Amino acid sequence: MHKTHPHRPSTGARRAAHRRAAHLALACGVVFALALAALTAPALAMKIQKVTSPGGITAWLVEEHSVPLIALRFAFDGGSTQDPPDKPGVANFLTTMLDEGAGDIRSEAFQERLEELAVKMSFDVTRDTFLGKLQTLTENRDEAVRLLKLAINKPRFDKDAMERLRRAILAGLVFDSKDPDKVASKAWFEAAFKGHPYAWPVKGTTESVSKITPADLEAYRKRVFARDSLKVAVVGDIDAKALGRLLDEVFGDLPAKGDLRPVPEAKPPLGPVTRHIAMDVPQSVARFGHTAFKRKDPDFIPAYVLNYILGGGGFTSRLMVEVREKRGLAYSVYSYLYPLRRAAALIGGVATKNEGIAKSLAVIRDELARMAKEGPTREELANAKSYLIGSYPLRFDTSGKIASQLIWVQIEDLGIDYFDRRNGLIEAVSIEDIRRVARRLLHPDALIVTVVGRKAPATRAGKGAPAPARATAAPERG
């Protein structure tokens, strides 16, 4: 979220900050070159150390001392599923407030200090996880660490800052309520996970956000920010001993164990269900999908390759060819895998003129049925594996991206050797594997479909009366 502040550093301080920012950008560029050169080697030339601090906090570290840059990522279990049931949006609100003053530093001064040092600090939340990022030049490490420690342990939640961010969130919700793509996505999760915390809107509602108090934010922080679920990844100009001290400095005062509310397994999202939401827009948007495989399912990697062929491969994907290229029915169509901790889904989207949405959905169902029955061709499989293996280094072309990859592999508990195994797992997918998985994964007659547009489409499958509009998601990871 973009933040504006009425007070800014002096001209001299801004110039110094710009110099530091330029230095940071240059460092990132050097890391890009180093990482890309290493990762295009026959093997993944990245040494990952597992570091344990004197206080018992663990992290994964990739040392790179050729540039004066440190990128840190961390995560706690919980996410938006730990919001109060009557106040969705608390976790998201907290992500906006942690750098809005902490300890004895008020909001404006905190933001000015970050800018002066060219320190990048931000927070995010998914349905299952609360995430944080820090990026700093080595020369500013100590002060950056101090500010991060204050943000995590002693956020202020001052009234003026909180009301300013509340207004921004509410404005964003109003904007989202007029965006057919966001409305369709929100409605899809409500339909797919009815009665489960996954159905709650991550950003909350205008009603819930209006009621969130500083006490709500602090209660969430105290329950979720704990060492037992903490995961940390660091890339850059720091050694294991210094990282150990940093871990204890930033995270050592957190509770040893969190107080997370149990989240039940979600029912597999299956239809047939079709819901239409009336909105006066020039084109209709649809979300479609159903249950899929969790990240550690043995068939996840074949499903990941299959989805690239089906709808994840851009203009080369089956859905794009059949819906857009051959028939000119839609402007865009895609699919992706969405693995969650308590469920998983295959989700797709299509956007087209209002009168074309029904036909587009019919073609999509036909293509899902054809893929389930026949699977992809050997050529499609070979091309998909070649792209997914060949493009993998692009996930590691900056220190921040490397740190993000390290943190997500920890979150998904795939093992520190996953980076060495990943391409081999994809290469090992056979035509028999992927055809078997296509039969297991794809259920065209069990789609949950939400459509936003001017006129309810006459779809071939589905049930449920049209629903009025009422006033998000991590990408697939393979």
* Nearest alpha-carbon partner for 145 in 125, 181, 121: 121
Nearest to 427 by CA among 311, 301, 318: 301
Give residue 194's identity as a one-letter amino acid code.
K
Q: Name the residue among 219, 231, 232 with its Cα closest to residue 259.
A: 219
Give me the pLDDT at residue 25, please: 52
- For residues 235 and 237, what is the distance between their CA atoms, to the nearest angstrom? 7
Task: Supply the DSSP symbol for 197.
Answer: G
Token output for 330: 């839609």
Give 452 or 282, the one with higher predicted confidence. 452
- CA–CA–CA angle 157, 162, 165 (5° rounding): 135
Q: Where are the domains of the chain?
A: 11-251, 273-453
**Residue 215: Cβ within 10 Å count:** 9
The SS3 of residue 23 is helix
Average pLDDT over residues 278-290: 96
Q: Do domains 11-251 and 273-453 have the same CATH topology?
A: yes
The architecture CATH gives domain 11-251: 2-Layer Sandwich (3.30)
Contact present, 327 and 363 (Cβ < 8 Å): yes
pLDDT of residue 11: 41
Q: What is the pLDDT of residues 459-469, one digit of tens each?
A: 444 333 333 22
Q: What CATH number should be reported for the domain whose range is 273-453?
A: 3.30.830.10
Tally of CB atoms within 10 A around 15: 11
Rounded distance between C-alpha atoms, residue 335 and residue 316, angstroms: 13
H-helix segments, 5-106: 11-39, 90-97
Confidence of residue 9 (pLDDT cuts 50, 70, 90): very low
* Single-letter amino acid code for the residue at 183: V
Higher pLDDT, 247 or 32: 247
| pLDDT surpassing 50 at residue 30 | no
Copy the structure tokens of residue 231.
């995961």
Amino acid at 221: R
Mean pLDDT of 386-395: 96
pTM above the 0.75 mark? yes
| Position 421 pLDDT exceeds 60 | yes
The per-residue pLDDT of the chain, averaged, comes to 90
In one-letter notation, the amino acid at residue 464 is G
Contacts for 143 with CB less than 8 Å, ≥ 6 apart: 113, 117, 119
Q: What is the pLDDT of residues 193-238, one digit of tens each?
A: 999 999 999 999 999 999 999 999 999 999 999 999 999 999 999 9
